[in-house]
Structure 1
């Protein structure tokens, strides 16, 4: 006998999309708040009980959906990009720029930044940023399985977060100042990576780095991508 289990997820996603589209009309005025959520439910004509089941935290869950929608749009744009001949740092810069360019409502991002800076939702904000940078690295072909999996995403998370904050206050033509800021931040990361490589190759420092390097070798990339990073490998018996 067939069940409707496999049809539940698409239906739920469609309803959440309807609620999100309706909420975006109210977020610039009321933020990601209970008022925006109630207005979205009414405007979308969605049963209130169903809306609460799909979004138990109300507008907070819609804010999460809004961010993830941006990630999907970025990946679609990224798939159409011709990056032949670009340096890898330029590919990263292009991906971050695309992530911001797909946003058609800067005020919704501003309100979301405020929301996810609150202590009770800070964890959501961290997971969303980590999810974005993981999507970027994965789309660009990163295959690292060791500590580099974490350091790459951690570095890009810092670049992405600071660029978003700069972009929110940027009123330059076509956000040119933001893209220049982004390039400077990536240059900073590249300089740090160059310094790190020099330290690692210094024969005088190798004895001091033996312990940290051994520890780093024990850290592996997570096998599941549905949570914050972290997995400690244990020796096989």
Structure 2
């Protein structure tokens, strides 16, 4: 069962094309910005949001801490953006459309974490920090966005929505994009047999960390950092072969699913 779960996750990851890179969803396709897009391995470019949809979704993010990932937040966002509440019909998946928008914009913020003002790029230029540590830093950055945006207390609701069978494929696809983008931004250029397992392992670690973060009451999510460090150490111990890594990914993912089930998710 664990290995099958790992295979399910890795199937969401596209194999890299060594001589070709295509543009992933850019910041300009999600929110207006003068920042140029960056590239990652063989990610298809999804259709951009319309200006109306972007305005409503962006405004709706402000209401998530109070109203959660709900149509209520979308309605309030539409009002804030100057549109009628009926404009929320632009989002046939309702709350899940808002969740996807939050995930995409948060993922794209990692670009600024590296290349933006006071980003990691200058520190990493020395070459003294290896890819593994860079990856871990970006995982912490992405988790920090959950806390800074105020959505963390609402995240169990989002996890339950994403775990619904209808939305699982899109949820896993977005998680795989996050793992791929993190490795790309961390400077990983390897194209070998570990391409799948590295990303599947990272996706499993991040998914488990988000669940842990929803219960973390420590200052600055210090306990979550310890949790993530422990998972990376476990992964290093498992990296003796593809099969052992797959088993580790399967176990971690299965544990993550069990936590979701304990919260009422029907999966």
Superposition TM-score, scaled by structure 1 size: 0.69
Please give the alpha-carbon distance, in whole angstroms, between the structure 2 residues aligned to 1:146 and 1:50: 47
List aligned pairs for 1:200-219, cutoff 5 A: none
**Residue number among 216, 237, 241 corresponding to 1:196 in the alignment:** 241
Decide which of 179, 202, 207 is 1:161's aligned counterpart: 207
Q: Unpaired segments of 5 or more residues in structure 2?
A: 1-27, 33-47, 245-267
User: In structure 2, what is the Cα distance between the partners aligned to 1:64 and 1:151?
Assistant: 24
Distance 1:29 1:50, change over 3 A: closer
How far has the Cα of 1:96 moved from its partner?
Answer: 0.1
Q: Determine the structure 2 residue equivalent to 1:135.
A: 181
- 1:93 corresponds to which of 130, 136, 140: 136
**Cα RMSD between the aligned structures?**
2.7
Deviation at 1:151, TM superposition (A): 0.8
- Give the secondary structure class of the aligned counterpart of 1:78: helix
Give the match for residue 105 of structure 2.
69
Structure 2 match to 1:203: none
CA shift, 1:125, in A, is 1.5
1:13 CA displacement: 5.3
In structure 2, C-alpha distance between the alignment counterparts of 1:110 and 1:22, rounded to whole Å: 21
Larger Rg: 1
CA gap of 1:88–1:146, structure 2 versus 1, over 3 A, is closer
Instruction: Work out which of the residue numbers 222, 245, 253 in structure 2 matches 1:176.
Output: 222
List runs of 5+ in structure 1 lacking aligned partners: 1-7, 200-237
Higher relative contact order (CA 8 A, sep 6+): 2
Contact residue 89 and residue 186 of structure 1 kept, 8 A = no
Task: Give the superposition deviation at 1:172.
Answer: 0.6
Higher helix proportion (structure 1 or 2): 1
State how far apart, in whole Å, the 2-side matches of 1:14 and 1:167 are. 33
What do residues 40-68 of structure 1 show as CA deviations (whole Å, max 9, x unaligned)? Answer: 22332225676534x33233212101111
Aligned positions, number: 189
TM-score, with structure 2 as normaliser: 0.62
Please tell me whether the aligned partners of residues 163 and 181 of structure 1 are also in contact (alpha carbons under 8 angstroms): yes
